[in-house]
Amino acid sequence: MKNLLLQIFTWWNGQTIGTRFFTWRSGKKIGEDEFGNVYYEGPETSFGVPRRWVIFNGPAEASAIPPGWHGWMHHRTNVAPSQENYQPREWEKAHKPNLTGTSGAYRPKGSLAGAGERPRVTGDYDAWTPGS
């Protein structure tokens, strides 16, 4: 029941009522990825390409779409990873979600959000002062 209320009153949790209705009415399930996201295809858009969408398993986060499905979603390929034996190339890195805003976010050395103190300024820098 809680999940249904979240879907009714928020757009970032799973699917909205409009998406649920559109999926029920004209969506064809194409496949599912390892994260539980479900991919659909529907009627053609005004550009003549089929409409494609994803219903996320959890919060709607575009970075949660793996590379193989990303290519299919953006019409770079017409063959979905579920319809072929998709294997990532050796140079493709494993998918990592966007951690911005979380405790796992990248904080480089010297960042105000990072731990520790900034290093002292070395002699190759002169601060500007008015009138100099």
pLDDT digits over 92-128, tens only?
Answer: 777 777 888 888 888 877 777 776 666 676 777 777 8
> Is residue 117 one of the residues assigned to a domain?
no
> Is residue 52 one of the residues assigned to a domain?
yes
> Is residue 127 one of the residues assigned to a domain?
no
Q: For the chain, how far is it from start to end, CA to CA, in angstroms?
A: 68
- Give the tens place of pLDDT for each residue, 16-75: 666 665 566 777 888 998 888 989 988 887 888 888 888 888 777 788 888 888 888 898
> Is residue 120 one of the residues assigned to a domain?
no
For residue 32, give its domain range.
2-83
> Is residue 107 one of the residues assigned to a domain?
no
DSSP, res 62: G
Identify any residues that bridge with 59 across adjacent strands, giving them in sequence order. Answer: 13
Residue 121 to residue 5: CA distance in whole angstroms = 54
When divided into structural domains, the chain yields a total of: 1
| Greater pLDDT, 130 or 111 | 130
Q: What is the pLDDT of residue 19?
A: 65
> Is residue 57 one of the residues assigned to a domain?
yes
> Is residue 95 one of the residues assigned to a domain?
no
> Is residue 45 one of the residues assigned to a domain?
yes
Residue 57 to residue 38: CA distance in whole angstroms = 8
